[in-house]
Amino acid sequence: MPGNSIKEKIAAGARIVDVRTPAEFKDGAYRGAINIPLPLLPLRMKELEPKSTPIVLYCASGARSGQGTRFLKNNGFTDVINAGGLDDMPE
């Protein structure tokens, strides 16, 4: 079940990245998440290194976090999961 692996990754210290806009982030975000809006991901991906760091991405619906997951994997990040939307994140 995907929710369990996301929960386990977070419990193990994965970086949680919210790829929504700053306004969406301000309206409510997952605790411990950092906000790197999808359009800024190419400019800020160095903040997520080393590339072996577990990373959990989410957005509003899973579409932007899916794009971000593909982008990071295409740029050498090895442990990236699309968690879907904020409502899909574990309690």
**Which residue, among 35, 36, 76, 16, has the nearest Cα to 52 in the 3D structure?**
76
Please, which residues bridge with residue 16 across strands? 56
Alpha helix locations (H) across the chain?
2-11, 22-26, 41-44, 63-74
Selecting among 33, 36, 56, 59, the annotated active-site residue is 59
Structure tokens at 14: 């994965």
Active site residue 36: no
Please, which residues bridge with residue 55 across strands? 15, 80
Enumerate the active-site residues. Answer: 59
